[in-house]
Structure 1
Amino acid sequence: MFAGSYCGPAPDLAEIASRWNFDPVLLAVLAAAITVALRTGNRLAAAGVALLFVAFVSPLCAASVALFSARSVHHLLLIAAALAVSLVKGDRLPGCRTDLPWSVGLATIAMTAVFWGWHVPALYDAALANMAVYWLMQITIFASSFAFWLAIRRANIVTAVGGLIVGMVQMGLLGAILTFANRPLYAVHAIAAPSWGLSPTADQQIAGLIMWVGGMVPFALGGAMIAMHAWQRQAETDASPVSGKNLA
Structure 2
Amino acid sequence: MTLMTSGQSAAYCGPAPRPDGLLAAWNGDPWLIAALIGLALAGGVFAVRRGTPAGPRNPALLGAWLLAFALFVTPLCAMAVALFSMRAVNHLLLVAVLAPLLAYGLGGRRFSGAPGAAAIVHAIIFWFWHAPAPYAAALSHDGIYWLMQLSLLASGVWFWRALMARWSDIVSTAATLAGFAAQMGLLGALIAFAPDPLYAPHAATTPAWGLTALEDQQLAGLIMWVPGVLPYLVALGLAVAAALSRSGETAAR
Instruction: List 4+ stretches of structure 1 deviating above 6 A.
Output: none
Q: State whether residues 189 and 225 of structure 2, in contact with CA within 8 Å, keep that contact through their aligned partners in structure 1.
A: yes
Asked if residue 22 in structure 1 is aligned to residue 28 in structure 2, the reply is yes
Equivalents in 1 of 2:91, 2:65: separation in Å? 14
Q: State whether residues 118 and 124 of structure 1, in contact with CA within 8 Å, keep that contact through their aligned partners in structure 2.
A: yes
Do the aligned partners of residues 59 and 177 (structure 1) sit closer, same or farther apart at CA in structure 2, a change above 3 Å counting?
A: same
Equivalents in 2 of 1:171, 1:196: separation in Å? 26
Q: State whether residues 19 and 62 of structure 1, in contact with CA within 8 Å, keep that contact through their aligned partners in structure 2.
A: yes
Do the aligned partners of residues 12 and 154 (structure 1) sit closer, same or farther apart at CA in structure 2, a change above 3 Å counting?
A: same
Partner of 2:121: 110
Q: Which runs of 5+ in 2 are unaligned?
A: 1-8, 45-52
Alignment partner of 1:5 out of 11, 30, 35: 11
Partner of 1:172: 185
User: Which structure 2 residues correspond to residues 8-87 of structure 1 after superposition, within 5 A?
Assistant: 8-35=14-41, 36-37=43-44, 39=54, 41-79=57-95, 80-87=97-104
The CA deviation string for residues 40-89 of structure 1, in whole angstroms up to 9 with x for no partner, is: 63211111111111111110101101100010010011011001121236
Q: State whether residues 83 and 218 of structure 1, in contact with CA within 8 Å, keep that contact through their aligned partners in structure 2.
A: no
The CA deviation string for residues 4-63 of structure 1, in whole angstroms up to 9 with x for no partner, is: 211111122221121011222222222333342561632111111111111111101011
**One-letter amino acid of the counterpart of residue 71, structure 2:** A
Q: Which runs of 5+ in 1 are unaligned?
A: 91-96, 244-248
Partner of 1:139: 150
**Structure 1 residue 235 displacement after superposition:** 6.7
* Range with greater deviation from structure 2 (6-15 or 133-142): 6-15
**Structure 1 residue 230 displacement after superposition:** 3.0
Name the TM-score, length of structure 2 as normaliser: 0.84
**One-letter amino acid of the counterpart of residue 39, structure 2:** A
Cα RMSD between the aligned structures? 2.1
Percent identity reads: 42
Aligned length: 232
User: Which structure 2 residues correspond to residues 122-161 of structure 1 after superposition, within 5 A?
Assistant: 122-155=133-166, 156-161=169-174
